[in-house]
Structure 1
Amino acid sequence: MIQDSYVIGVDYGSDSVRSVLVNAQNGQEIANSVYYYPRWQKGLFCVPAANQFRQHPLDYVEGLEYTIKECLSQAGDPAIAKAVKGIAVDTTGSTPVAVDKTGTPLALLPEFENNPNAMFVLWKDHTGVGEAAEINAHAEKFDTNYLKYVGGIYSSEWFWAKLLHVLRTDEEVKNACYSWVEHCDWIPFLLTGGNDVTQMKRGVCSAGHKSLWAEEFGGLPPQDFFTSLDPVLSGFTERLFTETYTSDQAAGNLSTEWAERLGLTTDVVVGVGAFDAHMGAVGGQIEPYHLSKVMGTSTCDMLVAPIEEVEDKLVKGICGQVPGSIIPGMMGLEAGQSAFGDTYAWFKRILMWPMQNLLSQSKTVSPETAEALINEISDNIIPELSKQADALPLSESDEFAIDWFNGRRTPDANQMLKGAILGLGLGSDAPRVFKALVEATCFGAKMIVDRFNEQGVPVKGLIGLGGVAKKSPFIMQMMADVMDMPIRIHKSEQTCAIGAAMFAATAAGIYSKVEDAMAAMGQGFDAEYHPNQDRVAVYATRYAKYKAQGQSIEELTSSANAPVTDIQEKVVR
């Protein structure tokens, strides 16, 4: 006899979707399943050299069905499926898509099925850099500061810059696009059988942090803010939304169609969606004034504080501060780095180039052996680099790097910036360069902590979440040394999906508030790294160098993107 209640958390990442089936009484993970997006794995619809990263909605839909059904299959007992009470979803963001009036992504229509502009524009797509710059300049013309709650700088990674770029780029998509929808809002709409986009429940998380929604504005900025920027945006605000919802609320019940597809009942409550790092912070048992760092391909750094204590403080250069975006009733503040694990992955690709491009041509080993060697080395290269880099002595004159390999998210978004590796010599080898790259990502993380502290929202502790936090003691120890603060590592390897499960339990009424779900379902911490005081002073000196070199690179980048004057032309020539 099944006595317990169960919930499902669905976590959409950059490369895959993962679902977990969880006992809502104690947080026990019953089953989990992951599905790697097949079209994304093939590199379809993406042009990395142009910073274009698009994902087909079929990757999302197929993964949703596969992972939930696989979880139920792993559970074994058919009675568990009948005891599932809720589903909640988190996604990357801002990852929006053009939809028609029914809320159907255009790429699901035959005429747009292979058009990247009709697909979801992934968070790290930077094709809207020019549009973001225009939005920032345009906002200065208004008496009301419509960027005040997103750190004062609008990013190309966000909602409006992406919409404007797509509408300008593709006439057919522009004519067919009725509205613009975040991934985290569309999946609950899909599961509940929505067929009118005006009825879609939009989460305050995505709306406040990426879409310029704020209670102070009565919703989104007024229509004339957008039409005076570009008439192509005419009519969009009235076809978007005014109201928003926190993720402890229900988007609706599972539709008959999806209940049949998944093997569940229509009694299942579907929660309002949010971004992965926001739900991940809840799954990682975030505490007030503790920076919860979700560390994967990029980082998202989340902080909550009592609204009455934040008062009118506005932290400049972050990804926004929104009441209820993480924990309902508390101020949610978001920051992050555009490349973290992606920086290490880039270096790995550089080192793997000979293996992947030359070994397949070898006359010495068979193709099967070549493939086996490539896979073995690919699996071991980062762990071995970490081991050897950790054994190196620390010196103020070591190789040095700037971590803006995918631009800079925070503080002060600037996606035009580039990474750099400095201080190279003939003695520089792979472990030394890798060490410099890791240090740079840790310095980038410290810049965020410093900004919170400087703006009057103190960071009192660090919580590490995600794959990098769990798998790399070398990186986490360096993080503690650079920050000169301890960092606790959460036990769960699936904090985003577990956080979604906690919200599912709350939306379904099993818990009255998400804090109660966190207390009952949280898995706790299994590691803590403390600063090595012998290294703290050396890193402090190198951090000052990082800031100075970063400023120089930023100035060079600005000069490179400025109009060339006659004097500059002479210098160039």
Structure 2
Amino acid sequence: MEKDQYIVGIDFGTLSVRSSVIRVRDGFERGTAVSEYKHQVMDQNLTASENEPLPPDFALQNPTDYIESLIESVNQAVKDSGVVVKHIIGIGVDFTSPTVLATNSMGVPLCNFPEFKNRPHAYAKLWKHHAADDQAKRLLKEAQDRKEDWLSFYGGGLSAENTVCKIMETYEKDREIYDQATNFVNAVDWIVWQLTDQLIFSSADTGFKKNYQNGKYPSYDYLESVSKGFGNMYKEKMNAPIQAIGTEAGKLSKVMAEKLGLYPEISVAVGLNDGHVTPAAVKAVRPGILSAILGTSGCYFINSEKFKEVPGMLGIVYEGVVENLWCFEAGQTSFGDTFAWFTKNFVPSEYQEEAKKLNLNLHEYLTRKCSTQKIGQHGLIALDWNNGNRSILCDASLSGLLIGHTLTTKPEDIYRALMEACAFGARKIIETMNQYELEINEIVVAGGMLKNKFFMQMLSDITKLPISITKSNAIGALGSAIYGAVAAGCYPNITTASDAMGNKVPNVFKPNEEKAAAYDLLYEQYTALYTLFGEKQPEIMHQLKKIQKNSTLTINNNN
């Protein structure tokens, strides 16, 4: 008879949800399944209703997709595992954040109501929804003028991705949706609410994404001074109890247990952001180890015994990932998304045909072609801001840049320049951390970019750091299961659970000194452009954004 116990780890990503049945004693994956969201990301048209055009920088999702994909993936993962259901004792969950939903008192998203189905602000605002940039800039300026004490926990900046920015956007752009919403809740807490019938806020997500520090949210006076009537937002719209990660949020409800094919009353852990579960999954919760999740975007986490005010951090939260340590988060808003954008829009048909003949996808084909080049041979430098700059500049109105192209520039040249730009952006973040005495001795990488070994070696050469990897194909689900195991009482703390269940292969890629020196020359040019367009003259890119938005508004009005 089987004696092992299992946790279902559930990882909600940007395009799909993965559920895995994970063995508690060693993190072994017995079964897994992925279910893609029906409507994916709505960033051009509101496809969940009348397919009306969306303004620039919108990124919405339909929460109904989350539930449908959750049910499908969990049922299939349990079936795939062959595990006896009674041996599944808990659930751990992570979600993209801050993905923000407006709901009624029962947790029903407002977009589910017929009268609001055509209202964009009634839908889930995905993490990469950047239309709240104006609100972010105003909130930041007022916080700086007032010397708000919480600002130091966010590197002195405030991203348009932040929860309060998105809610204020709703308040100012669609007041009826704001007024009708009983709750504004991040999806990581909303999904736990659906599983347990209890609304609690994750301490980690609340610290990283809701500006909750030193036991309080930003004040009424502060919010009111930015937008009149908005001062009571936290009190009226976001006032659920806050609970620590690694604890039990509640028990699985009978209704959801029946839909998921699990026993009711099993433990459901407090949720975490999708990136925040990775350090535990890759055995990187101790100081000195940088976790890098390189997928559609780039997310970076490092733990430290001491608080340090590091510019451009998205959040600095005590026990944000593990007990007794401060977690520092930084990131790049576009990583894999940049390469997907390029291959979708700028690769000629003959390249596509040749790749098909070689049984390669376009990413593999372009990598093969550019990997034979000498460093700097393409004569290009790019900036990795195709979806704005998350760290260190915290400016969603910045945009991509490519210089040096001529009439002889080929697709593989640009593709390699984009790879280098992403690696240079990572180096910029690491150097800033080092400057403020956050020691980094190793990078552990998870995410889709692991498939590209050429890029991984490039990243090691450019950052001059050894790179460890994970062999798990479901690192988010594994990380969620680790927190679920702690919440279910299987381990005394997160570090112990990480040691037992985590997955890491050390020092797979090591920096090549000769190549690193060659990349240094390109990095100097990258830094010059970074300073020029990000610090000295950002208004150039800002003005282009304004022109674009005004042009779009004119077109919509004419229609």
Q: TM-score, normalised by structure 2?
A: 0.91
> Secondary structure at the residue paired with 1:411?
coil
Residue 419 of structure 1 is aligned with which of 400, 403, 412? 400
The residue correspondences of 1:108-187 to structure 2 (distance < 5 A) are 108-187=112-191
Residue 503 of structure 1 is aligned with which of 483, 507, 517? 483
Deviations 1:546-570 (A, max 9, x none): 010122223443246479xxxxxxx
Deviation at 1:467, TM superposition (A): 1.1
Distance across 1 between alignment mates of 2:36 and 2:325:
34
Residue 72 of structure 1 is aligned with which of 74, 78, 81? 78
Distance across 1 between alignment mates of 2:301 and 2:87:
33
Aligned to 2:68: 62
Deviation at 1:354, TM superposition (A): 5.3
Structure 2, unmatched stretches of 5+, are 48-52, 545-559
Deviation at 1:279, TM superposition (A): 0.5
Distance across 2 between alignment mates of 1:331 and 1:466:
23
Aligned to 2:290: 291
Aligned to 2:369: 388
Aligned to 1:317: 312
Residue 249 of structure 2 is aligned with which of 248, 251, 275? 251
Equivalent residue pairs, number? 535
User: Does the C-alpha gap of structure 1 residues 375 and 99 become closer, same or farther in structure 2, counting only changes over 3 Å?
Assistant: farther
User: Does the C-alpha gap of structure 1 residues 377 and 551 become closer, same or farther in structure 2, counting only changes over 3 Å?
Assistant: farther
User: Does the C-alpha gap of structure 1 residues 374 and 257 become closer, same or farther in structure 2, counting only changes over 3 Å?
Assistant: farther
Distance across 1 between alignment mates of 2:357 and 2:13:
25
Alpha carbons 1:184, 1:275 under 8 Å: kept? yes
The residue correspondences of 1:161-560 to structure 2 (distance < 5 A) are 161-194=165-198, 200-215=199-214, 218-239=215-236, 240-241=238-239, 243-286=241-284, 287-306=286-305, 310-311=306-307, 313-352=308-347, 380-395=361-376, 398-469=379-450, 471-525=451-505, 528-554=508-534, 555-559=536-540
Deviations 1:176-228 (A, max 9, x none): 0122100101111110023xxxxx2111221111111012xx31012121122
RMSD: 2.3
Deviation at 1:2, TM superposition (A): 2.3
Aligned to 1:95: 99
User: Does the C-alpha gap of structure 1 residues 139 and 5 become closer, same or farther in structure 2, counting only changes over 3 Å?
Assistant: same
Distance across 1 between alignment mates of 2:147 and 2:385:
33
Structure 1, unmatched stretches of 5+, are 195-199, 360-369, 564-573
Deviation at 1:16, TM superposition (A): 0.5
Percent identity among equivalent residues?
29
Deviation at 1:322, TM superposition (A): 0.1
User: Does the C-alpha gap of structure 1 residues 2 and 317 become closer, same or farther in structure 2, counting only changes over 3 Å?
Assistant: same
Alpha carbons 1:327, 1:514 under 8 Å: kept? yes
Deviations 1:76-116 (A, max 9, x none): 35xx2111111011111111111122232212333323432
> Secondary structure at the residue paired with 2:472?
coil
Deviations 1:255-308 (A, max 9, x none): 1111111121223100111111100221111132211000001011011122xx
Alpha carbons 2:398, 2:542 under 8 Å: kept? no
Alpha carbons 1:405, 1:418 under 8 Å: kept? yes
> Secondary structure at the residue paired with 2:201?
coil
Alpha carbons 1:50, 1:127 under 8 Å: kept? yes
Deviation at 1:323, TM superposition (A): 0.7
User: Does the C-alpha gap of structure 1 residues 353 and 97 become closer, same or farther in structure 2, counting only changes over 3 Å?
Assistant: farther
Alpha carbons 2:42, 2:60 under 8 Å: kept? no
Aligned to 1:24: 24
Deviation at 1:376, TM superposition (A): 7.8
User: Does the C-alpha gap of structure 1 residues 327 and 375 become closer, same or farther in structure 2, counting only changes over 3 Å?
Assistant: farther
> Secondary structure at the residue paired with 2:46?
coil
User: Aligned AA for 1:253?
Assistant: K
